[in-house]
Structure 1
């Protein structure tokens, strides 16, 4: 098959690598220009550089909706477009152009976690598994029929970085299997149950600000979800930003006001958590390692020299 590839960052790079290793002919690659967005500088293997090394024509676009690109793609005469981590809307006249349509590779178990940063959102929400889905593109984002889907478990100590490495390794086999099914002439695939669909926005600074009204279990997952190289979850202590690099759910239950710096437990310092912390039924979040605004990393037990006072969402 003649294939056009739309993609960006390491997800797109892995997809293009799988296409180049396949029996199919990659005739054009469309990718985004480099970005300064914090999350787009992470896992940023270059799709353009890989295509260049293999002599595949590269087109740079932020949005794929101009006449020049449409004519170029029409002249390329693709049987299939394969997309992964394309960051903007692909219009119907583009995704419907190839004879077989457009196959999108998405790093979630659709129909749940459509949209952006699915691994981080899934980890925060306590999902037991994550994965990769290859589906046919239609008018609704991440909503087309499922061609291939593979899952991996989420462990109790996994970080978003762990899940990235586990799922990115699924891209090549999922892509290869989906291509084989399409090349065989199969056209009927599994419709998504739209009653189960969830759609998430891009993560931003506000999404990593700690809200001490959350239960400790959710806050512990937030810290793991924002593991390096992602921006760390943060709070404020005495008006200064404090990043939380590691934390565990406390063994004891602590009552009082959310955000209170309360008790030394093992190697951690327990912060009261949960909107109903006044009941005394909640576990706290035991901070174990922090980073100050000037970049110093140290054990929480060294940073908090005395108990009392509060951690807050704002200075």
Structure 2
């Protein structure tokens, strides 16, 4: 990633501190750098164990920041009075020394206390992956798919002390495709957020951003995804289960149990519009190369990819070669 050019014009650009952790945030940081904004400081989460060897791994934001020769801090907390008060104090001092005029935040993972929100002259701007006030909170991408929303988008928000309650600065909508999973929608929104934050910073630099309060109507909360949401409940409508599979791919995934108790993970599924057969919820109506057709509370869900414990995700046509015929059997 190229660093901002050292020209007189670049020197006049807003100084932008950045706080973020995953790939969603790294794309935004990359776009800010490409646009020529100086980034004097990057905050990101501490390195975490990852992979089979559980070795410490730097976040995507840290990796990009180091490649770009940016200053990086990884405090475990930002509250001066909290458990990590010493680390927070160092982060506060670094933000003051960086003389950043605005702090851009994207999927950082730490709560910013008022003492941080007021440090930059122009405050803190959050890149949020929904059209606020819908889906405030931790998992807006997954919850939008799960709920069957036709569209989502990116909102640039002036951060305050509430949970995604700040004034809106800029927003752009995007359709959710019928085959979108949390992975594909994440990538689309990451690209949209990267483009929009540059437009927002350009407008902020020109003094053209007009904050507007979020409407009181239409507020919903995107609760954090829990592992126990992975189980498919066959009494639910097939369309809802299809959305659940798409929303929870890749994590925590969705699963069910075979008649022998083996827990199987679902990789892909589709709700069938019409199916001539009917049965009890959880009953396999047909097991063919196209998939497992399972009766639901309403309609039929065709499971097209499966994974047994210790195995790899594979199409049902391949899985059936070493599996018994499940036609007529009950899944739980």
1:184 matches 2:206: yes
Structure 1 residues without counterparts, runs of 5 or longer: 39-43, 275-281
Q: Does 1:145 align with 2:167?
A: yes
Corresponding position: 1:294 with 2:310: yes
Q: Does 1:63 align with 2:77?
A: yes
- In structure 1, the residue matched to 2:184 is 162
Deviations 1:198-249 (A, max 9, x none): 122222321222122221001111222233x444311111211111122221
In structure 2, the CA distance between the partners of 1:266 and 1:48, relative to structure 1 (3 Å rule), is: closer
TM-score when scaled to structure 2? 0.83
Following superposition of structure 1 onto structure 2, how do residues 36-51 of structure 1 map, counting pairs within 5 Å?
Answer: 36=49, 46-51=60-65
Q: What's 1:213 paired with? A: 235
Distance 2:276 2:151 in 1: 28
Q: How does 1:1-315 map to 2 (within 5 A)?
A: 1-36=14-49, 46-65=60-79, 66-186=88-208, 188-227=210-249, 229-237=250-258, 238-250=260-272, 251-252=274-275, 255-264=278-287, 267-274=290-297, 282-296=298-312, 297-299=314-316, 302=320, 303=323, 305-312=325-332
How many Å apart are 1:264 and its aligned residue? 4.5
Work out the number of aligned pairs and report it: 300
For 2:40 and 2:122, the matched residues in 1 are separated by 15
RMSD: 2.4
The answer to whether the 8 A contact 2:25-2:107 is kept is yes
Query: What is the match of residue 54 of structure 2?
Result: none
Do the aligned partners of 2:96 and 2:119 also contact (CA within 8 Å) in 1?
yes
User: 1:101 and 1:217, CA in 2 relative to 1: closer, same or farther beyond 3 A?
Assistant: same
Aligned-pair distance for 1:304? 5.1
1:255 to 1:192, Cα distance in 2 relative to 1, 3 A: same
- CA drift of 1:36 comes to 4.7
Secondary structure of 2:268 counterpart: strand
Preserved contact between residue 253 and residue 283 of structure 1 (Cα < 8 Å)? no
With structure 1 as the length reference, what TM-score do the two structures score? 0.87
1:255 CA drift (Å): 4.5
* Aligned mates of 2:124, 2:178 — CA distance in 1: 36
How far apart in 2 are the matches of 1:264 and 1:48? 47
